[in-house]
Amino acid sequence: MDRARPLHVRASAAEVPDEALVAELRELLARADGVEELAGRMALLSDPRRLQILFCLHAHPGVRSSDLASVLGAHESTTSHALAVLREAGWVRARRAGREVRYELAEGSIHELLHQLGSAHLPGVHHPGEHAGEPPHGHG
């Protein structure tokens, strides 16, 4: 990405007076629903342990909390608490497999966000419809 050029430009080349721009931006923010909730969810990413958990679940869905604790070098109780926080926020869901509980990302938007943050899949893990060995559509 060329950081010297803006990502977006106005459709019209006419310059917008500052007062009009401020009014447009105020209206935009007034229509934005759930900003506080989104900010709270995004704040969860500021904790390195929670972000590492999300990277692990993205890399290979269906990991047990004890395996995550081992990978992170953390206590199981600490890892379980982080998973509970992520579940409550809607980032992660638990899936029972017999006597075990396995964790995975809760929705596709989180999956896409993790790709944007640089998270990758482990070998053999791919998106539905992809062929092994091919880069994911839109991520390669």
Length of the chain: 140
In a domain, 114, yes or no: yes
- 88 part of a folded domain: yes
**Distance between CA atoms of residues 76 and 66, nearest Å:** 6
| pLDDT at residue number 136 | 46
End-to-end CA distance of the chain: 15
90 in a structural domain: yes
Q: What is the DSSP string of 45-107?
A: GGSHHHHHHHHHHHHSSSEEHHHHHHHHT--HHHHHHHHHHHHHTTSEEEEEETTEEEEEES-
- What pLDDT score does 7 carry? 66
The helix-helix angle for 108-116 and 48-59 (nearest 10°) equals 110
CA 120 – CA 112 distance, rounded (Å): 11
* Cβ pair 86, 44 in contact under 8 A: yes
Domain count, the chain: 1
Q: Let me know if residue 57 belongs to a domain.
A: yes
Q: Which residue(s) pair with 92 in the sheet?
A: 105
pLDDT tens, the chain, 140 aa long: 456 776 666 777 788 889 988 999 899 999 998 888 888 888 888 899 999 999 999 999 999 999 999 999 999 999 999 999 999 999 999 999 899 999 999 988 888 889 888 888 888 887 765 544 444 444 44
Q: Record the pTM.
A: 0.73
Residue 77 is part of which domain span?
47-122
Domain with residue 109: its CATH number is 1.10.10.10
Domain presence at residue 4: no
* Domain presence at residue 73: yes
Residue 30 located in a structural domain: no
In a domain? residue 110: yes
Position 34 scores a pLDDT of 86
Virtual torsion, Cα 130, 53, 44, 113, nearest 10 deg: -10
Q: Mapping DSSP to helix (H, G, I), strand (E, B) and coil, where does residue 103 land?
A: strand
What pLDDT sits at residue 129? Answer: 57
